[in-house]
Amino acid sequence: MNYKVAVIPGDGIGPEIITEARKVLDKIGEKYGHTFEYQELLMGGCSIDAYGEPLTDETLEKARASDSVLLGAVGGDVGKSGWYELPPDKRPEAGLLKIRKGLGLYANIRPAVLFDELSGACPLKEDITNGGFDFVVMRELTGGLYFGERKTIEENGIMKAIDTLTYDENEIRRIARWGFDVAMKRNKKVCSVDKANVLDSSRLWRKVVKEVSEEYPEVELSDMLVDNCAMQIVRDPKQFDVILTENMFGDILSDEASMVTGSIGMLSSASLGATKLGLYEPSHGSAPDIAGQDKANPLATILSAAMMLRYSFDLEKEADAIEDAVKQVLKEGYRTGDIMDNGKTLVGTKQMGDLVAAHIK
Ligand code: NAD
């Protein structure tokens, strides 16, 4: 098959890590008989320099016309770069909001994978993490408290702030379907997280998720209150496969889940919408402190490319091949600086990409 991939290297380490992800995708293409046709697009600081805005409408159109989008990272050193003297809607990160909105992305997946080989970086006790863990947090991205009506008023001389948390059943249903679809590609378990003992929106969430689960008889559904979930992620992360939750709970839980895996250079992510077109990117930023020095860990971006194969292109075997290659390279002791440990072999960005590509089976 031929796939059209819009590639947005962005700023800082973005171009370096994207180059390595392309290297690995090309190796997959060669081995499995696919072609990836890349179209490089500008977003972030580099687009501000070229066009005066972080994402032009023309660029967004090109991204929309692709089969999927692979993004490096955008932004510069906030203290040094002139980009941050611009109004907020003209700064590099405004491009991120515009592309997510423009592509209609409402589901975010952040995997929390502890590779056995990197368990030393995990802040949890060894008896909890033995054997590693592997779950994803699926977060609703466009509804809930962050998008509800808000205001600050003064009543009888007292300041009062009001935020509203709203979900309708359609918003819940569409993210729930993604949650179950993703579980079908994994270990077929969904844990739906809410605060149904207090919130009406959570009670509706629970009801709709239960209805959707009936379309997926193979997937085991459980419900958990968000406070308990926050505890369970550090007490027993192995119990989870897909954590499905609303926007604010997902914001908090996905950061907690990332933290327990240890290294920022390993964290991939995907944002999905109504179609197969998704946006795949590492969870980290553009790391201007190490840009251009061949020090960045490209694995989060390479693992994001694997997610793109799995979720946008339904190429399961090929996605597995990338993840297995990453595991094998780690097993053989190769590390970039951010995950370096005693007795391991330090490699740069390019060599890490070469190694993963060479291990694709
Ligand atoms: P950051 O994630 O870029 O860096 C934090 C620290 O982690 C730095 O020390 C960096 O060197 C290190 N790091 C990050 N990724 C790494 C990798 N792949 N390999 C090795 N080390 C890595 O966060 P920051 O410093 O707060 O932000 C820098 C810029 O990135 C800012 O302009 C910020 O707005 C932007 N940003 C962009 C995104 C995005 O594009 N999605 C996300 C977060 C931050």
Question: pLDDT, tens digit, for every residue of 228-260?
Answer: 999 999 999 999 999 999 999 999 999 899 888
Residue 308: CB within 6 Å of ligand 1?
no
| pLDDT of amino acid 115 | 87
CA–CA separation, 85 and 76 (whole Å): 12
**Can you name the residues that pair with 225 across neighbouring β-strands?**
194
Contacts 24+ apart (CB under 8 A), 197-202: 197/225, 199/165, 201/144, 201/165, 201/166, 201/167, 201/246, 202/246
Which among 41, 83, 90, 264 is the best mutation to test ligand 1's pocket, defined by most ligand atoms within 8 Å of the CB? 264
Residues 6+ away with beta carbon under 8 Å from 109: 136, 137, 138, 139, 182, 269, 270, 271, 272, 307, 311
What pLDDT digit, counting tens, does each position of 305-345 carry?
A: 999 999 999 999 999 999 999 999 999 999 999 999 889 99
Q: How is residue 76 annotated by DSSP? A: -
Give the confidence band of 264 by pLDDT, cuts at 50, 70, 90.
confident
Q: How far apart are CA 230 and CA 235, in angstroms?
A: 9
Is 320 marked active-site?
no
Report residue 119's pLDDT band, with 50, 70 and 90 as the boundaries. confident
Where helices occur in the chain by DSSP H, the ranges are: 14-32, 45-51, 57-64, 94-102, 126-129, 169-184, 200-213, 226-235, 247-261, 299-307, 316-331, 349-358
Q: Give, for ligand 1, the residue of 48, 281, 286 to mutate: max count of ligand atoms closer than 8 Å to Cβ.
A: 286
Catalytic residue among 195, 216, 295, 334: 195
Strands 68-73 and 268-273: unpaired
Q: Which atom of ligand 1 is nearest to the CA of 284?
A: 2
Mean pLDDT of the chain: 95
pLDDT digits (tens, 9 = 90+) for 198-236: 999 999 999 999 999 999 999 999 999 999 999 999 999
Contact by Cβ (8 Å): 311, 135: no
Query: Which ranges constitute the DSSP H helices of 42-168?
Result: 45-51, 57-64, 94-102, 126-129
Tell me, using a 6 A CB cutoff, whether residue 55 lines ligand 1: no
| Cβ atoms within 10 Å of 2's Cβ, excluding its own | 9
Q: What would the pLDDT profile of 79-94 be if each residue is shown by its tens digit?
A: 888 999 999 889 999 9
Q: Which residue has the higher pLDDT, 61 or 146?
A: 61
| pTM reported for the whole predicted model | 0.92
Mutate to test the pocket of ligand 1, among 19, 69, 284, 356 (most ligand atoms within 8 A of CB): 284
Distance of CA 73 from the midpoint of ligand 1 (Å): 8
Q: Is the pLDDT of residue 19 over 90?
A: yes
Q: Whose CA is nearest to atom 5 of ligand 1?
A: 287
Q: Which atom of ligand 1 is nearest to the CA of 93?
A: 34
Cα 235 to Cα 166, 228, 245, distances in angstroms: 31, 10, 19
Instruction: Specify which residues 2 forms β-bridges with.
Output: 35
> Strand 105-114 to strand 268-273: parallel, antiparallel, or no bridges (unpaired)?
antiparallel
* Ligand 1 pocket check for 81: Cβ under 6 Å: no
Res 262 pLDDT > 80:
no
Catalytic residue status for 195: yes
Residue 78 near ligand 1, beta carbon < 6 Å: yes
